[in-house]
Amino acid sequence: MRALLLSAGLGTRLRPVTDHVPKCLVPINGRPLLSYWLGLLIGAGVKKVLINTHYLPEAVNDYIDRSGYSDFITTVFEEKLLGTAGTLLKNRRFFEDGPVMLIHADNLSKFDMPAFMQTYDRRPAGADMTMMTFMTDSPETCGIVELDEQGIVRAFHEKVSHPPGRLANAAVYILSPAVIEYIASLGKEAVDFSTEVLPHYLGRINTFHNAVYHRDIGTVDSLERAQREYPLVESRLNDSRVR
């Protein structure tokens, strides 16, 4: 399995933090967001990671060179942003017709990566992707999902007032090669994953629930909350290992 870490965003909602730092390198307790993801991926045996860049690409490339992970990483510069699905399509050769883990690098997440991959491997017949879910404390700002008894997504509620629950799409996926084939069939260079791809797969998305930690670092407030929360998560996990 190969992975795409989306790292090209402008981070406008995080200004002034992102005035001189790309969003994927915003630090949580001194460690860049990208570092957390690379540790999870490579620790789980994902040895080929594609990172797209656009805003402050030199800073991202410099971090990768110093990270210790550079042997596992390929970067691609997007002069024009293509949308999540457009980036997948543009780089389809990198994925060699195999499954792709699709990750937005501006999230901070802690979960069992091998279990996520196993959930994809054991997906029901006809399911072409696996979506990570989490329980959000701000459902009106997220994509809320409804599942059937098999954990298949049956409905989306994207950033609506009074959504029916708190179970949210974490925007972390594993995609079968059929998904990129579908994107190619649209005949467009720039394609939005949330509005042009996900609705097509309604009823064919199984889910993996992240019950450990997940937060979208999209605003200064969410960044400050993650700075407070994440050390407690790691401390709790360390305590459970000792026991």
- Specify the pLDDT at position 239: 59
Q: What is the pTM of this model?
A: 0.93
Q: Could you tell me the pLDDT band of residue 3, with boundaries at 50, 70 and 90?
A: very high
Query: What one-letter code names the amino acid at 235?
Result: S
**Over pLDDT 70: what percentage of the chain?**
98
- 182: helix, strand or coil: helix
Q: What is the pLDDT of residues 102-117, one digit of tens each?
A: 999 989 999 999 999 9
Domain count, the chain: 1
- Specify the pLDDT at position 149: 93
Q: Round to whole Å and give the CA distance between 58 and 215.
A: 26
Separation in Å, CA 117 to CA 2, 70, 113, 196: 11, 23, 6, 25
Of the CA atoms within 13 Å of residue 91, those in its CB half-sphere come to 27
For the ranges 10-24, 67-81, 223-237, the maximum mean pLDDT occurs at: 67-81
The domain that holds 44 is classified in CATH as 3.90.550.10
Indicate if the pLDDT at residue 62 is higher than 70. yes
Per this entry, what is the length of the chain? 243
Least confident of 61-65, 139-143, 198-202: 139-143
The percent helix, strand, coil of the chain (3-state, each to 5) is 40, 25, 35
Q: Could you tell me the pLDDT band of residue 242, with boundaries at 50, 70 and 90?
A: very low
Looking at per-residue pLDDT, the higher value among 13 and 242 belongs to 13
Residue 114 burial (CB count, 10 A)? 11
Domain that holds residue 56: 2-242
Residue 88's closest CA among 8, 207, 168, 157?
A: 8
- Specify the pLDDT at position 130: 98
Average pLDDT, the chain: 92
- Specify the pLDDT at position 241: 58
Whether the Cβ atoms of residue 214 and residue 170 lie closer than 8 Å to each other? yes
DSSP one-letter code for 204: S
